[in-house]
Amino acid sequence: MTKKTIEDDLIEIFEKLHKNPELSYKEYETSKTLKGILKEYGIEILNLNLDSGLVAVIRGEHPGPVIAIRSDIDALPIQENTGLPYQSLVSGIMHACGHDFHMTSVLGAARLLNERRNEIHGTIKIIFQPAEEAPGGAQLIIDTGVLEDVKVYFGIHATPSLPVGTVGIGEGAVMAAVDKFSITVKGRGSHAAHPNEGIDPIVVSSAIVMAVQSIVSRNMDPFSQGVVSITHLEAGNTWNVIPEQAYMEGTVRTMKPEDRVLFQNRLKALAINVAEAYGAEAEFNWHPGPPAVINDGELAELSKKVAEKNGYLIREAYRSLGGEDFSLYLQKEKGMFLRIGTGGGYPIHHPKFRVDRKAIMPTAKYLADLAIEYLQANIIA
Ligand code: NI
């Protein structure tokens, strides 16, 4: 019998995690599994008293700064339809965003780093963060205080639009700020046959939906990236009554802090003034989410150098208007969010989403090399 390789082990772990997905803030068994594997590797787990999520630490044999590698661990409320032999065993829950791939690759990196402690000039904290999808999980880990000494963060995301062997490396804003808004339009109900006796909130809402389309085309700098989508619109409950009010909500995705302010102000002004023009009233609510993910330029250069050494093809300036609470770690310190090609043919959050398992071992090695090279380049004299 041939000896099992690290890659064989990791693929086994990946399949186990994939079969047993858990939703945000409920990653109890996942956390137990991760702890068990880390213990087997002989890696120290910090005592944080978290029900889900954990932070492990690898102390190098040489002094140096503290850096972190982060994986998210939660799954999504999606019924899997891949037909894979290791398909989710939990009805209605699926690792459809590749967080199982993140966990496995980061575990692999931790194992390799632990075996290479003699090359490490500093300390590496390994973050297994709950509830990236919820969101809020990053804040939960930050609030433990365990990251106070961390100077640099590395994070990854599975990327089905890139083939295995390709890594997307962008600098500057690579993922968007995620803000949410809602608008309540208050009109006056009436009989459908006598609209003149009421104020129709459905007509007012329609005007608002159309008006906000001009923010991207007429207000935003054409060199900026941003989008506003109204995704939920609700009013009335029958065919012959004009309702009293309407409700809508949606999201704004932007790359620059000033554009967040612009969208918030324009949405509010359009909602309130369009409603007023029709004799109705609008109430506008803005719910800010995580900011944009901003990749550090020097880290992008280092990431490209190490990627090349590892035989990766590099896709420059890879960016998306999706969101990631990885950005919360970067509020205080710099970091790098890498898009790892995982192929598979279906987008993330799709019931047929799948990760090509061949991407796991190279990602583990890449992350380990990246951490070691960063620390070697930043030796404190
Ligand atoms: Ni994700």
The string of pLDDT tens digits covering residues 109-138 is: 999 999 999 999 999 999 999 999 887 899
Confidence of residue 42 (pLDDT cuts 50, 70, 90): very high
**Residues 366, 340, 108, 68, CA torsion sign:** positive
DSSP conformation class of 331: G
* Residue 177: strand pairing partners: 254
Kindly state the tokens that stand for 78. 């999606």
How far apart CA 315 and CA 230 sit, in angstroms, is 31
Kindly state the tokens that stand for 70. 């982060």
Contacting residues for 349 by C-beta, under 8 A, at least 6 apart: 76, 78, 96, 97
Mean confidence (pLDDT) of the chain: 96
Measured in Å, residue 132 CA sits from the centre of ligand 1 at: 7
Measured in Å, residue 98 CA sits from the centre of ligand 1 at: 6
> Which domains can be identified in the chain, with CATH numbers?
6-175+292-377 (3.40.630.10), 177-288 (3.30.70.360)
How far apart CA 102 and CA 90 sit, in angstroms, is 20
How far apart CA 373 and CA 41 sit, in angstroms, is 22
Report residue 272: phi and psi, to 5°.
Answer: -70, -45
Measured in Å, residue 133 CA sits from the centre of ligand 1 at: 7
Q: Is 286 exposed, middle or buried (0-12, 13-18, 19+ CB in 10 A)?
A: middle
Region label for 290, one of left (φ > 0), alpha (ψ between -120 and 50) or beta (otherwise): beta
How far apart CA 22 and CA 25 sit, in angstroms, is 8
How far apart CA 38 and CA 146 sit, in angstroms, is 18
Q: How many CB atoms lie within 10 A of CB 19?
A: 17
Measured in Å, residue 106 CA sits from the centre of ligand 1 at: 14
Confidence of residue 13 (pLDDT cuts 50, 70, 90): very high
Measured in Å, residue 277 CA sits from the centre of ligand 1 at: 42
Measured in Å, residue 189 CA sits from the centre of ligand 1 at: 43
CA torsion angle 132 371 164 310 (round to 10): 170
Q: What is the pLDDT of residue 106?
A: 98
Q: What is the pLDDT of residue 318?
A: 79
Using alpha carbons, list the distances in angstroms from residue 143 to 48, 146, 154, 208, 264.
10, 8, 19, 39, 28
Measured in Å, residue 97 CA sits from the centre of ligand 1 at: 5
Measured in Å, residue 200 CA sits from the centre of ligand 1 at: 41
Measured in Å, residue 18 CA sits from the centre of ligand 1 at: 14
Measured in Å, residue 89 CA sits from the centre of ligand 1 at: 20
Q: What is the pLDDT of residue 380?
A: 64
Region label for 49, one of left (φ > 0), alpha (ψ between -120 and 50) or beta (otherwise): left
Measured in Å, residue 140 CA sits from the centre of ligand 1 at: 17
* Residue 210: strand pairing partners: none
Measured in Å, residue 103 CA sits from the centre of ligand 1 at: 11
341 neighbors 162 (Cβ within 8 angstroms): yes
Q: Would the pLDDT of 39 be above 90?
A: yes
- Mean pLDDT, residues 268-272: 98
Measured in Å, residue 210 CA sits from the centre of ligand 1 at: 31
- Mean pLDDT, residues 85-96: 97
254 neighbors 224 (Cβ within 8 angstroms): yes
Contacting residues for 310 by C-beta, under 8 A, at least 6 apart: 362, 365, 366, 369
Q: What is the pLDDT of residue 134?
A: 84
Using alpha carbons, list the distances in angstroms from residue 169 to 257, 302, 304.
22, 10, 7
Contacting residues for 197 by C-beta, under 8 A, at least 6 apart: 190, 191
Measured in Å, residue 174 CA sits from the centre of ligand 1 at: 14
Measured in Å, residue 165 CA sits from the centre of ligand 1 at: 19
Measured in Å, residue 372 CA sits from the centre of ligand 1 at: 25
Give residue-wise pLDDT tens across range 285-344: 999 999 999 999 999 999 999 999 999 999 987 789 999 999 999 999 999 999 999 999
- Mean pLDDT, residues 73-97: 97
Length of the chain: 381
